[in-house]
Amino acid sequence: MDHLRDKYIALIAEAADENTLEDLRVQAVGKKGEISLEMRALGKMSPEERQVAGPALNALKDEINSALAAKKQALSDAALDERLRTEWLDVTLPTRARNVGTIHPISQVWEEVTAIFAELGFAVAEGPQIETDWYNFDALNIPGHHPARAEMDTFYTHRTADEDRPPHVLRTHTSPVQIRSMEAQGAPIRIICPGRVYRADYDQTHTPMFHQIEGLAIDKDISMANLKWTLEEFFSAYFGRSVKTRFRASHFPFTEPSAEVDIQCSFKDGTVTVGEGDDWLEVLGSGMVHPSVLSAGGIDPNEYQGFAFGIGIDRIAMLKYGIPDLRAFFDSDLRWLRHYGFASLDQPNLHAGLSR
């Protein structure tokens, strides 16, 4: 028994893994294990011999079983330690740098303008960028022969001779949304419509796609004075200082009277500053909605009148953020976007200040 004990205690101590340990268990205390065979031999002993050998064999069996259990625990502890040593993670390491995009200045200004007009009670309306020529022209009092159609450098969509749908254009201005809003909600109306517009024109100050914000207010007692107040209020909020406007008589087929509006600025050393000085910059077209336009939108011009305006978003973005070249807006140059872009969490609103 001493021999068996020494042998198995030594082997168990040496076992390097659980499989070896299991083999040892079978060899020692398994059904046909050495110790089990000894126990079976108890039957052939005399009662006196059995009284001594029986408890001793049981004790040996217990001893081997607990040595096996202890070793098994030690092996699994060691395995765990080894895993913990290799699978560690330094949670204090800085995270991998991520490329964060920026908000394009056009989007930023779009949001700023929307926030200001929302405070003034204007809702946002939208219309399609591919428009029928009726919404883009006819309903706005620009009939087929009108020179304004040619002046606008319109993109027409292709139409085969046998197609019976009306001609479609890429809208040349956001003014068709005036008609769509009149049709959709009737009077009174207070809406702005920010959006993309298209004209076949490309040079330093023109891109074939650019952005406008249409404004439309219709009610029973609306005058040019309301237009002027609204625009001055808007520009002062937008530029963060009081901005004078200059109304110049102009002509649009869809407004009567019509005015182009300039804002006060100074040109010094090649930089433009809005809200000071004696110079003027044209930023929008406007006027009182033409009676024919109200009728086209299903509103009675004898009962209602209103004002409308169209501001170039790109232009006022350049003025506010000192962006010198219009075409760079649409080049997708990453260096430009990082320089002129805005942090994505800088949401413009009037209370927090409009921008960083």
Two structure tokens written together for 182? 């009149």
**CB 246 to ligand PHE: min, Å:** 16
Among 255, 264, 305, 355, binds ligand PHE (CB under 6 A): 255
Q: Identify which of residues 114 and 355 has a Cβ nearer to ligand PHE in the complex.
A: 114
Two structure tokens written together for 109? 């200004």
Among 287, 297, 306, 348, binds ligand PHE (CB under 6 A): 287
Q: Identify which of residues 241 and 248 has a Cβ nearer to ligand PHE in the complex.
A: 248
Q: Identify which of residues 239 and 309 has a Cβ nearer to ligand PHE in the complex.
A: 309
Among 175, 230, 245, 355, binds ligand PHE (CB under 6 A): 175
Among 198, 238, 252, 340, binds ligand PHE (CB under 6 A): 252
Listing DSSP states for 64-106 in one string gives HHHHHHHHHHHHHHHHHHHHHHHS---TTSPPPP-----B-HH
Q: Identify which of residues 156 and 267 has a Cβ nearer to ligand PHE in the complex.
A: 156
Measure the CA–CA gap between 265 and 320, rounded to whole angstroms: 11
**CB 336 to ligand PHE: min, Å:** 26
Are residues 227 and 286 in contact, defined by beta-carbon separation less than 8 angstroms? yes
Burial class (CB in 10 A: 0-12, 13-18, 19+), 72: middle
Task: Give the H/E segment covering residue 236.
Answer: helix 224-239
Q: Per CB under 6 A, which region of 8-16, 105-113, 235-243, 284-292 contacts ligand PHE? A: 284-292
Q: Identify which of residues 159 and 251 has a Cβ nearer to ligand PHE in the complex.
A: 251
Q: Per CB under 6 A, which region of 27-35, 142-150, 157-165, 283-291 contacts ligand PHE? A: 283-291
**CB 288 to ligand PHE: min, Å:** 9
Please, which of residues 154-173 interact with ligand PHE by CB under 6 A? 173
Q: Kindly report the CA angle at 247 between 226 and 185, in degrees rounded to 5?
A: 40
Name which of 246, 248, 266 is nearest 257 in CA terms: 248
Name which of 184, 197, 158, 196 is nearest 298 in CA terms: 184
Q: Per CB under 6 A, which region of 26-34, 74-82, 156-164, 279-287 contacts ligand PHE? A: 279-287
Two structure tokens written together for 325? 């070249």
Q: Identify which of residues 173 and 320 has a Cβ nearer to ligand PHE in the complex.
A: 173
**CB 239 to ligand PHE: min, Å:** 21
Q: Identify which of residues 105 and 287 has a Cβ nearer to ligand PHE in the complex.
A: 287
Two structure tokens written together for 5? 């004990």
Residue nearest to ligand PHE (CB): 310
Measure the CA–CA gap between 236 and 272, rounded to whole angstroms: 16
Q: How far is CA 191 from CA 120, 213, 325, 326, in A?
A: 10, 10, 30, 27
Name which of 173, 167, 166 is nearest 199 in CA terms: 173
Name which of 252, 247, 234 is nearest 289 in CA terms: 252
Does residue 137 touch ligand PHE according to CB under 6 A?
no
Q: Identify which of residues 250 and 273 has a Cβ nearer to ligand PHE in the complex.
A: 250
Please, which of residues 290-349 interact with ligand PHE by CB under 6 A? 308-310
Name which of 180, 205, 183, 184 is nearest 193 in CA terms: 180
Binding site for ligand PHE (CB under 6 A): 173, 175, 252, 255, 285-287, 308-310
